Structure 1
Amino acid sequence: MQKLFWSLSAVICLSAGIATPSVAADAHQGPDGIYQTSSLRGSIGLRYWYSRSKSDLDNARYDISSTADVTSHTAEIVGTLEDVTEGTFFRGYVGLGRNVDGSTDFVGLDMDNTSQTTLSYVVLDGGWQFAQFANNQVRLKGFLGYQYLSDDLKASYRSVTVEQSRDWHAIRLGMTAEGDIGERVGWSVDVAGVPWSYNQIETWESDWTYGLEADAMLNVDLTQNWKLGVGGRYWWLHSNFDRRNIYTNEKVVFDQNYHRYGLLLETKYAF
């Protein structure tokens, strides 16, 4: 019996010694014994956009409305998600802010007061990386996206108040260049053309809208995951409205040019 006990103990110890490394390997390694890591990378952050805008809706004979030096303060939530193995990415940002001052002309009248109005927008882009240079220190990406923009106008002249709701739904088609400067500094530049957009001003609907948009950012790594950035943004959207003179039925084409530009400050967490 004593010999049987010691024989069984030896077999159990030997089995445990063989099995333990195998269990540990399965917990941390792939089927070929190579450590596996996720191919997904992303970030989430906050931005502040200090911007100014100007716009006009007119033609050679009629001036409907124009704004100038409209100052705005906007907060954004921004996020990105990319698959580094496939080279694909998805990103987006949502902004909500306030137009706080500026000047407005309406049908030739210099309005006494430009009221505060809401500025809001959503931008969603998806794309792929198609080239990289300098040992992946510089990367080029293409993207296709969608933008919604709402920037209303409200102004008064004496006892008369004028309001305009202005909304855009735009397609974005562009390219991103990004890279690294050393180990702690990164940069990115986005340039997007707007080949088509739907623009509505009150009951007027645009026949065609096109434009150009650009962003540039410089980021510094405070820690391995936490980053601070500074940059700039510019939006230009041009719309055409075909109308008819109510007295002569003559075709009248109005153009709207909308410009917005300003400084971006960003803080984000990468994961």
Structure 2
Amino acid sequence: MGFGLAAFHSAALAADFGASGKPGALDRSYSATLGTRYWYATGKTEKTLYDPTGDIRLSRLTYDDLDTHAGEVYGEITDDGLFTKGNAGLGWSLRGSLQDEDFAPYIDPYSSTDSDQDDGHVYYVTIDGGKYLIERPNMRLGVFAGYNWLRQQVHAYGCQQEAENPFICASGQVAPSTKVISQENDWHSARIGIKADALIGDRILVSAEGAFLPYVYLDGADSHHLRADFAGSIPETGTGWGYQLEGMVNYRLNDSFTLGLGGRYWHMETDGNAHFENIAAGGTAQDEDWSVDMFGVTAQAAVTF
């Protein structure tokens, strides 16, 4: 009887702790993690507009120093080496600036205006599925494929000429509280990548992942609020590529709860068109390049079942 109880107890421990029998081991047959994360990010998004031939640069708009505070929920379920993971977040970009440049021969002389960015937002969702190719009590390595959606909204207020063009945003022309330009971009990305976890001792869990974005699709809209010749927002589209990197160092308070600090970097870029033909009589599509960079630190808390 005693032998039977001992065997049952050992089997229960193995089910709880994984094949290694070690609490918190990474080679458990099943686990589920749910957590919350804060992301402080900065970065910029920029577009360059060309004439319809694509040979002459007309203008460049650079939204920079976009300090963003975002909160998200995330989770991962692992079952017999297969895993599904994802996150969903939203944030506010409460600072930043816009440099709006216009180049000769379209504008002569060269114009460079500065505006303040305020009341911006970000929304994002990531969903991945994959398989761990290597599983050990103290490390595991997997591959995954998935999808990321990022919506970025920015708003520029006021306008101050910083070059020598006397016609655009001369001193006193536009009040600092006047909204001059708004931009909303949806970035849709396919992801393929690798992820790795390593358990150092019994308390430190290091995680990292890198994703290549072989296909990125941009669906954007530019609103110049002071331009009477633009009847609404200018649709913008493009395709391109990118990458997303992140890493985390977690401290295991016990077998279930962890606290962590880390970092994240996202980059996406596209080539496409601004569709002036949709908003102005006689307008034509014009070549356009877009890019976005977001990077910063993350902090998280999670529970694992």
How would you bin the TM-score normalised by the shorter chain? 0.7 to 0.9
C-alpha distance in structure 2 between counterparts of 1:188 and 1:178, whole Å: 4
One-letter code aligned to 2:69: H
CA RMSD of the aligned region, Å? 2.7
Instruction: For residue 101 of structure 1, give the secondary structure of its aligned residue in structure 2.
Output: coil
> TM-score, normalization: structure 1?
0.80
Matched, 1:255 2:255: no
Match in the other structure for 1:221? 252
One-letter code aligned to 2:75: G
Per the alignment, do residues 112 and 253 of structure 1 end up closer, same or farther by CA in structure 2, a change over 3 Å counting?
closer
Matched, 1:37 2:15: yes
Structure 2 matches for 1:34-183, cutoff 5 A?
A: 35=12, 37=15, 39-58=29-48, 61-83=57-79, 86-108=80-102, 109-132=112-135, 135-157=136-158, 158=174, 159=178, 161-183=180-202
C-alpha distance in structure 2 between counterparts of 1:161 and 1:249, whole Å: 22
The gaps in structure 1 that reach 5 residues or longer are 1-20
What's the offset of the Cα at 1:126? 0.9
One-letter code aligned to 1:114: Q
C-alpha distance in structure 2 between counterparts of 1:250 and 1:113, whole Å: 30
Checking the alignment, whether the CA contact within 8 Å between 2:235 and 2:276 is kept in structure 1 is no
What's the offset of the Cα at 1:248? 10
Larger Rg: 1
What's the offset of the Cα at 1:243? 5.2
What's the offset of the Cα at 1:219? 0.5
Instruction: For residue 62 of structure 1, give the secondary structure of its aligned residue in structure 2.
Output: strand
Query: For residues 34-86 of structure 1, what are the alpha-carbon distances to aligned partners after superposition, in whole Å with 9 as ceiling and x for unaligned?
Result: 55837420111111101002121005612242111110101111111111xx2
C-alpha distance in structure 2 between counterparts of 1:145 and 1:194, whole Å: 10
Match in the other structure for 2:168? none
Deviates more, 1:61-70 or 1:221-230: 61-70
C-alpha distance in structure 1 between counterparts of 2:69 and 2:276, whole Å: 39
Per the alignment, do residues 104 and 139 of structure 1 end up closer, same or farther by CA in structure 2, a change over 3 Å counting?
same
Checking the alignment, whether the CA contact within 8 Å between 2:236 and 2:274 is kept in structure 1 is no
Checking the alignment, whether the CA contact within 8 Å between 1:228 and 1:266 is kept in structure 2 is yes
C-alpha distance in structure 1 between counterparts of 2:220 and 2:64, whole Å: 18
One-letter code aligned to 1:155: A
Q: Aligned pairs, how many?
A: 241
One-letter code aligned to 1:126: G
What's the offset of the Cα at 1:161? 2.0
C-alpha distance in structure 1 between counterparts of 2:46 and 2:11, whole Å: 62
Per the alignment, do residues 34 and 52 of structure 1 end up closer, same or farther by CA in structure 2, a change over 3 Å counting?
closer
Match in the other structure for 1:270? 304
Per the alignment, do residues 63 and 123 of structure 1 end up closer, same or farther by CA in structure 2, a change over 3 Å counting?
same
What's the offset of the Cα at 1:190? 0.5
Identity %: 26
